[in-house]
Amino acid sequence: MRLVSRYERSSEEKIRRVSENAHVEDVPNNEDNSSTASTLAGSKITPTGEVNWLWLCQADIIPGYWATPWKHLFSEAVCLGAISVLLKRLETFTDATNCQYMKSPPLRFLDWLRAGKYTYPSYAHNSKGGIVASGIYESASFSAFKHAVSPIELLYSSEYQADRSVIQTTKSETDSICELIGLDNWLSMAGRLPEITGGPSNLLRTLPTLLQRIMTDFVLEFSNLDRTSNNGGLQMIQTIAEALLQTLTEENLSEAERLVANVALLRTAKVGLCVVRGPDTAKLRDVLKHDIQVYLA
């Protein structure tokens, strides 16, 4: 059984303190067969077993470089286009108090990363509520939730988020991992709220399939979005954002579920971007796959 973090609300200090390595209570158990069936149904898994959005959206965030053999399976244009649209869509749910752009990664996330620990979101299969990094958190109110959770924490600015000129460096890779840790934290906290655990769409079980379908269905729209909102792309971004909202509405998601789905999509696109910008180990994998000495060792 995985050990995860539990957070408690302090009414006096208006903050959230997280105790490390505590069992999560009263969260859905996603390890039964019905969960697996609902998660995998209609997921469009490739016949060769290649990694797709269904798996990326649930991937653990761990310390280290994004060196994978999956680079060719994803597109930087799709990831950046998705990020631009999802940030615009996120504005309808948030304001400056509950969605904050940070000048640098919070120390609690850097400490978590340096300690060699990992995170994953609440909707991942067998996640048991996800993981929240230990530390002190602010409280923020969202109109979609009755109870406060921590604010959504993103890096630098909305312009940076969709910047196609960013060059991957050791520092930027560390910052990106910390940002993903923050998104996993928020998704784990939000995933334990009654609007999600008791929501009409059973989101914690169905979300991975929904994320896979949306990223696949909108691949052309995202890939053709080559301008940001500040250089002539605002109208196109708004059009795609409205189409995305219509898709989520047709899924009968509540406002709270649409917010969580939006953040989960943002997290998925950011994981894909890390894979695309990371080192490619496909050739090394192929060498090891066909090297007889590997099998004899």
Give residues with Cβ within 8 angstroms of 74, minimum separation 6: 56, 272, 275, 276
Count of beta carbons in the 10 Å neighbourhood of residue 222:
24
Look at residues 83, 110, 98 and name the one whose alpha carbon lies nearest to residue 268.
83
How confident is the model at residue 24, as a pLDDT?
35
Q: Are 33 and 18 in contact (CB under 8 A)?
A: no
Q: How many domains does the chain have?
A: 1
Long-range interactions of 157-165: CB distance < 8 A, separation 24+: 157/101, 158/87, 158/101, 158/229, 159/228, 159/230, 161/83, 161/84, 161/87, 162/80, 162/83, 162/84, 162/87, 162/228, 163/228, 164/76, 164/80, 164/226
**Low-confidence residues in the chain, pLDDT < 70:** 1-49, 163-171, 227-232, 292-297
Q: Can you give the residue range of the structural domain that contains 220? A: 4-296
How confident is the model at residue 285, as a pLDDT?
79
How confident is the model at residue 31, as a pLDDT?
46
How confident is the model at residue 295, as a pLDDT?
59
Please state the pTM of the whole predicted model: 0.81
How confident is the model at residue 228, as a pLDDT?
63
Are β-strands 135-138 and 15-22 bridged in parallel, bridged antiparallel, or unpaired?
antiparallel
